[in-house]
Amino acid sequence: MSFRRRMPAAVLLLMAVAGCGPSDVDFSGPVAGWPEYGGDKGGLRYSPLTQIDTANVAALEVAWTFRHGDYSNGSPTETKTSFNATPILVGDQLVFCTGLNRVIAVDAERGTERWSFDPQQRNRTLEGTPSTRVCRGVAAWSAGEAAPATAACTTRIFTGTMDSELIALDARTGQPCRDFGDGGRVNLRQGIGPAPAWESYPTSPPVVVRDVVVIGGLVADNLRTDAPSGVVRGYDVRTGALRWAWDPVPPGWAARHTPPPPGHYQPGTPNVWSIMSGDEQRGLVFVPTGNAAPDLFGGQRHGLDYYASSTVALDAATGQVAWHFQTVHHDVWDYDVGSQPVLFQLEGVGNGAPALAQATKTGHLFLLHRETGQPLYPVEERPVPQSDVPGETLAATQPFPTHPAPLHPTTLRPEDAFGFTPFDRADCAAQIRRYRYEGVFTPPSLEGTIQYPSSAGGANWGSVAIDPVSRTLFLNQTHIAQVVWLLPREGYDAAAGTPGGSLSEYYPQHGTPYGVRRTVLMSTWGAPCVPAPWGTLTAVDLVSGQVRWRSTLGSTRDVAPFPLWLGLGVPNLGGSIVTAGGLVFIGATTDKFIRAFDARTGDELWRHRLPYTANATPLTYRLRPDSRQFVVIAAGGHAWSESGDALMAFALP
């Protein structure tokens, strides 16, 4: 039944007189939810919904806005917040977390609050943290139809906090599940060793596979060789009892080195800060790993980067490694795997094998067999530049996929330099000539090395979306370069105290002979020195491995003054979703917009101005046959923009 036929005749008459007749909304299509961070446990980010399509998307309007109030006030004593969460649909409510770790449930059609839970953070300011406060999402588990509908905690919400706790909540009330851990909480600091609260804590949602809730955590970059362990742990969903702990220590490593004290995990191991995936049928958890400590010099790792910058498959019941695939060997670029591994199985792709797509910061996309970790298509080990820094020994080769071929630009020459004027273009060209650059794996150096892509990517935690019908993968990337200097220890302290511009970062890397300075490669006008576009959305044919289209993503609005609001593409963090209506929805940019692209052509069909940047992945759902399809996104800023708190829903009028 169309929306027009359901409206009272008097209302239709008034609207006709006003000249703004209602849109026809098709209620005949499918109904679908969004029960996991990435749509499903495998992170496909695909919805079968068709009510919003390429023909009517331009009519989308704001259906409701929810303001949760948990964001930084900008004072010097308060740590900046980022609202990067993707809510999940649990029943008829959306559940999400804020940058201050409050968990909130809102009515999915009205945007009104149902309940909220405040964990009463002990570490609200997190003095000294180099990061913004962020919580990307929560996970849900249900006991199934056999459980009494009115019993407490038959459906549970799991969330991690910056107090390093795993908390279980009743999905109906938001109250802690008292039978889980200690009154609903599990202490994740156990076995980590002494460290400031801000140096190690979870920022991404847990994943639940076969009644085990699995959680990893962030470890602050480039501070020291004995950084907190990157351990990943699995807990019983009902009791909170520890089922297993995977400490990413190489096989046989403990026999050759002094192990940590009993009950403690190995310092310096790779962490899992980003989003994990799960395979219920196979009982596997897929984890994307970060770097062994520190990120940009590996001379003191002693082999602990065996599992670093990898996709690792763990047995959900035991935590044992089923397989692992390393995307970067002996990573000294901070090219850790930030993207969720995405699970799919398609005829014509890898002979129809159960597959996994792993996007990386380098612009490489690896298609792997989900059961073995073997590449579905040839991956070539190619020679790469070597380091001249004393104490560093790099891998002689790095893996390059061939299907698809690398998706990020692979060269940068002085004649490629960007500039708004001949003067700043000449400055950029001079910088490109000055610093060392020999391709994507040019190592950090004492004289300064260009890193392109930067440590932000390429792809980052937004990952990819896959349309299983058209067998197309959608990937958003940043195209920005950095300059990285290794600073000898005796000169690091003086250098770190010298102003280096607002975009300069200094890291001590205690335990190594070198600190680090890192900055964006910019012109005198403050524009990136590399060719535009600086942000793209790309569609890849998974069958052929060829790029179907590549569109510019974002404008310089909100980072440049008027009239320099140019469609040059911009850095982006956050991901896309794709629908059976033929649309790709994405925020992610440094400008305050959510956009919809035609999934077939890459044409931008719709955009809407937001109160803050939307550096989150959207979601879409439709609850009932007589209800509208909603597209929802968190607009709450990031490190590069103003903190905010808006959860916004869009629907057809």
The two tokens of residue 285 are 């958890």
pLDDT tens-digit profile of 35-84?
A: 999 999 999 999 999 999 999 999 999 999 999 999 987 676 677 899 99
Phi, psi of 277 (to 5 degrees): -125, 160
Residue 145, pLDDT score: 76
Residue 413, pLDDT score: 97
User: Is 639 a residue whose pLDDT tops 90?
Assistant: no
Helix, strand, or coil (residue 3): helix
619 versus 129: which is more confidently predicted?
Answer: 619
In this structure, which long-range contacts are made by residues 114-122, counting pairs with CB atoms below 8 Å and at least 24 apart in sequence?
A: 114/174, 115/173, 115/174, 116/68, 116/174, 117/167, 117/169, 117/174, 117/175, 117/176, 119/161, 119/163, 119/165, 119/167, 121/161, 121/162, 121/163, 122/163, 122/197
305 secondary structure, DSSP code:
G
- Active-site residue (options: 53, 163, 334, 591): 334
pLDDT tens-digit profile of 207-244?
A: 999 999 999 999 999 999 999 999 999 999 999 999 99
The two tokens of residue 323 are 């397989």
Average pLDDT along the chain: 93
Active site annotation includes 603: no
Domain 31-651 matching CATH 2.140.10.10: the answer reads yes
Contact present, 301 and 222 (Cβ < 8 Å): no
Q: 18: pLDDT confidence band, cut at 50, 70 and 90?
A: very low
What residue type is assigned to position 539 of the chain? A
User: Is 349 a residue whose pLDDT tops 90?
Assistant: yes
| Rounded CA separation 272/309 (Å) | 10
User: Is 280 a residue whose pLDDT tops 80?
Assistant: yes
Average pLDDT value for residue range 482-490 = 95
Average pLDDT value for residue range 618-645 = 96
Average pLDDT value for residue range 140-151 = 82
For the chain, domain boundaries: 31-651
Helix, strand, or coil (residue 276): coil
Angle at 309 between CA 308 and CA 314, to 5 degrees: 70
CA Rg value for the chain: 24
pTM: 0.95
517: closest CA among 571, 437, 449? 449
Residue 124, pLDDT score: 59
Residue 260 Cα to chain centre, angstroms: 31
